[in-house]
Chains A and B, each alone.
Chain A
Amino acid sequence: MAIDTVLWSRLVTGMTLGFHVIFATFGVGIPLMIAIAELIGIRKKDPHYTLMAKRWSRGFVISVAVGVVTGTAISLQLALVWPNFMKLAGNVIALPLFMEVFAFFFEAIFLGIYLYTWDRFKNPYIHWLLTIPIVAGAGMSAVFITTVNGFMNQPDGFVMEAGQFIAVNPVQAMLNTATFSKVFHVLSSAYLTGAALLAGIAAFTMLRKGVSAYHKKALNLMMAVVLLFSLLNTLAGDVSAKFLAEHQPEKLAAAEWHFETESGADLILLGWLNAEHEIIGALHLPKVLSFLAFGDFNAEVTGLEEFPLDERPPLLVHYLFDLMAGIGFALLAISFLYFLFVFWKKRNELNKWLLRVIALSAPLAFLAVEMGWFYAEIGRQPWIIRGYMRVEEAATSSPNVRILFFLFLLLYIVLGIMCVLVLRRLFHNNPAELEMEKWIKEKPNQSTEKGEPAR
């Protein structure tokens, strides 16, 4: 099969978003962790937590840089690669895009202030207050941009006439039926992933260098956050599934390989399809899909055969869905097990196996975020604005997009490698314990440190 410009356009955008979402998730999740750690540090007067906030914000700023530049890339690619889409939808989605930039602006301003004013204020709470606009700005930009994605799934707030959107109601477009479940799921998974990452790093360091007070505190704190947001995220996933069943049944049906409309539908785990589209080797959970979709074991679930062939999403999304959901439940189980060990004194929560599993959960959480987004986006095919515009009508017709794919691929490879190298250098040569000692020695004449970035 020859690759046409439409497919190249999809590849460019998919690659950019797939790369950006890693750093966007960092960008939304980590500020909350920094804020929590700094607040505990101030309240408990425990310098370990303050050090945590400092070290995390140092790593955070590196990842933010990559997030900012890839975010800029995707915002420009919207018009460069999908000019017809922006011409049509720009009338409706300009508002949330604009608000997203404001939120991001706000975050950028206060992040700059936050990083350069450690110890500049007499009252430590003033510096901590600076984290609020950062957390809020990061969260709000996720909210606004997710409403755009919600609109593409559930277009609303306009009348279509002669190929143009008229009678536009921008607020209604933002508050479309997809928005709530999407925003909830995006935010809960970002906070979950941020916490899982930091917990994973603490566990990994303890595996390699032995248990230390700093890392033990970090692990405990972050596992608590993981547990909380795992629960919320499971709830968010459930809300999303119920939304899909009601409003986008073809996406859920494709994810579940649910071909025929029936009541009491089975939930299918893994397996594969043969040439006649029969499911082989899968695990069937009787009637669970009906329960998942409608909260009723005997409810009727719409099957994929109700939809015309050229409006069905690819069946591959089944695996993406299973992987995402599986990892979500695994994270919940791991954090639950951790606290079971903490409170049940006979077991050591810092045993090697549990630490290994926690360390592994960090990359898994990112994998789940990727899988979830790929499921959400591929599951919407062939539409770019569901029901109104197909992907092939929206893409650029310029053949140059093929060259750009490779240019951007090269860019992301370089950025990814550099980012990892810089982060490694930043933390590898400067372990927390060493920094703590140095810091305590310097404490009497702390004023020398004023205004300098936390390094």
Chain B
Amino acid sequence: MSYELIGISVLWLFLYGYLIVASIDFGAGFLAFYARLTKQDHLINRLISRYLSPVWEITNVFFVFFYIGIVGFFPDTAYYYGSALLVPGSIAVILLAIRGSFYAFENYGSKKNIVYLFLYGATGLLIPASLSVALTLSEGGFIVEQGETVSLDYWALFTNPLSWSIVGLAIVSVLFISGSFLAFYASRAEDHSALKLMRNYALFWSTPTIILALTAFIYLGQHNERHFQNMMDLWWLLALSVAFFMIAMWLLNNGRRYGLAFICIMLQFFCAFFAYGIGQYPYILDPYITIQSSATSPSMGFALVVVFIGGLCLLIPSLILVFKLFLFDADYVKGKK
């Protein structure tokens, strides 16, 4: 396997990792705000802040990691995406900045400020929306290249149903993933009232998630025939994804084994996300950038893979330690430690 293929696979895996951890985080922010509005915050706020406080920084790193990785392995992406995404990218940066710092202000600094909570909740939905623009761009047709200048065709972007369905999908899946994770966390904490609330959120958001996933898929077929056909060839991955979704729904509905239900949801997104990614091969940005044409020099690719393996040897044990201390330590989750 060539290093650029290893590179893109690993990066895609990291993007998937970010999708899961960030969804939990983004959704939790919104759910906390929503619970405050509906006066149910006493049920879940402690739960959310207990999980999020030790890990919020890690979530952010996942994103930077993916981003630095992709411009490292494929410097051309920096040129095209960088030029085209100047505005949406900067907006995402500003939202991330507001969110990250206000989380810290709220949780480590002063307590119980509704403005902070609103900013935290609202940005939690706006960030996935603004980040998903990059995904839409990769389908091609939204970037105009005139001589030396690369720019984004906003009109095409805003009038295209594909971009809106991707934005919608990003938002509802954030809420779905987050709700089901927090239901699992609440069940570990044996916090029954929070569990009930979170289970309802998860069940509620499951329907729009699957509907919008289908819608986005259909619009993708109209927008990018090649990508659609490639994904159809991977029909078994998509079928697996739907199967995992059904199992997760059945488990959530029966109200047992929330851990397994969350794993099924992770697998559901894993299958769909990889079917999407493999189907896009060999393009990173249709039709300007392919994986082969934009790869960095072989020596740099090799160095990056080496550093990557070395880094993982440090990271994985540390992440396991975090999980042991804050996620699977029953006493901590219940609030006794």
Contacts and interface: CB of A to CB of B under 8 A. Distances in A.
Interface stretch (B101-109, B179-187, B220-228): B101-109
Interface string B124-136: 0000000000000
Contacts of A76: 67, 89-90, 92-93
26 contacts: A65-B101, A72-B63, A77-B93, A79-B81, A80-B82, A80-B90, A86-B71, A89-B75, A91-B297, A94-B71, A94-B75, A97-B72, A98-B72, A98-B311, A102-B315, A104-B61, A105-B61, A112-B58, A120-B337, A166-B297, A168-B300, A398-B86, A404-B87, A411-B97, A418-B101, A450-B336
Contact of A95 (B55, B92, B148, B307): B307
A110 interface: yes
B308 interface: yes
Interface stretch (A45-53, A325-333, A419-427): A419-427
A415 B78 contact: no
Contact of B57 (A97, A111, A133): A111
Contact of A69 (B80, B83, B101): B101
B297 A168 contact: yes
Interface of A: 58, 61-62, 64-66, 68-73, 75-84, 86-92, 94-95, 97-102, 104-106, 108-113, 115-117, 120, 133, 165-171, 396-398, 400-401, 404, 407-408, 411, 414-415, 418-419, 422-423, 425-426, 450-451, 453, 455
Contacts of A117: 325
B177 to A, nearest CB: 21
Interface string B309-337: 00100110011011001100000100011
B299 A169 contact: yes
A423 B86 CA distance: 33
Interface of B: 53-58, 60-61, 63-65, 67-69, 71-73, 75-83, 85-87, 89-90, 92-94, 96-98, 100-105, 108-110, 148-151, 296-297, 299-300, 303-304, 307-308, 311, 314-315, 318-319, 321-322, 325-326, 332, 336-337
Chain A CB within 10 A, most for which of B56, B61, B73: B61
Contact of A98 (B85, B89, B307): B307
A92 B300 CA distance: 7
A408 B76 contact: no
B61 to A, nearest CB: 5
A117 B215 CA distance: 46
Contacts of B105: 62, 65, 418-419, 422
Given A72-B64, A411-B98, 6 more contacts: A61-B108, A69-B101, A82-B82, A400-B87, A422-B109, A451-B336
A426 B296 contact: no
Given A170-B299, A415-B97, A423-B109, A75 B87 contact: no
A398 B319 contact: no
A65 B100 CA distance: 6
B26 to A, nearest CB: 15
A108 B60 CA distance: 9
A110 B318 contact: yes
A134 to B, nearest CB: 12
Contacts of B71: 78-79, 86, 90, 94, 97
A115 B109 contact: no
A411 B63 contact: no
A418 B68 CA distance: 29
Contacts of B72: 90, 94-95, 97-98
Contacts of B83: 83, 396-398
A407 B94 contact: yes
Nearest to A423: B109
A113 B303 contact: no
Contacts of B77: 79
A397 B148 contact: yes
B101 A94 contact: no
A400 B90 CA distance: 11
A109 B60 contact: no
A70 B60 CA distance: 12
B303 A170 contact: yes
A73 B303 contact: no
A171 B100 contact: no
Nearest to A88: B75
Nearest to B149: A397
A68 B96 CA distance: 10
B96 A65 contact: no
Contacts of B64: 71-72, 75, 101, 104
Contacts of B332: 451
Nearest to A83: B82
B97 A106 contact: no
A331 B85 CA distance: 44
Nearest to A133: B318
B69 A72 contact: no
Contacts of A83: 78-80, 82-83, 150
B104 A91 contact: no
A81 B65 CA distance: 19
A408 B86 CA distance: 13
Contacts of A101: 61, 64-65, 68
A108 B61 contact: yes
B314 A106 contact: yes
Given A65-B101, A86-B79, A113 B60 contact: no
A112 B57 CA distance: 8
B103 A102 contact: no
A95 B78 contact: no
Contacts of A425: 109-110
Contact of A419 (B101, B103, B315, B318): B101
A445 B326 CA distance: 23
Nearest to A90: B75
Contacts of B102: 418
B160 to A, nearest CB: 21
Contacts of A78: 71, 78
Contacts of B65: 101, 105
Nearest to A92: B300
A133 B318 CA distance: 10
A111 B56 CA distance: 11
Contacts of B73: 94
A105 B337 contact: no
B107 to A, nearest CB: 8
Contact of A113 (B56, B67, B110, B325): B325
Given A94-B304, A102-B315, A104-B64, A65 B54 contact: no
A79 B105 CA distance: 29
B255 to A, nearest CB: 29
Contacts of A111: 57
A102 B64 CA distance: 10
B110 A422 contact: yes
Given A117-B325, A411-B98, A453-B108, A168 B78 contact: no
Contact of B303 (A86, A165, A171): A171
Nearest to B91: A407
Contacts of B101: 65-66, 69, 415, 418-419
B151 A398 contact: yes
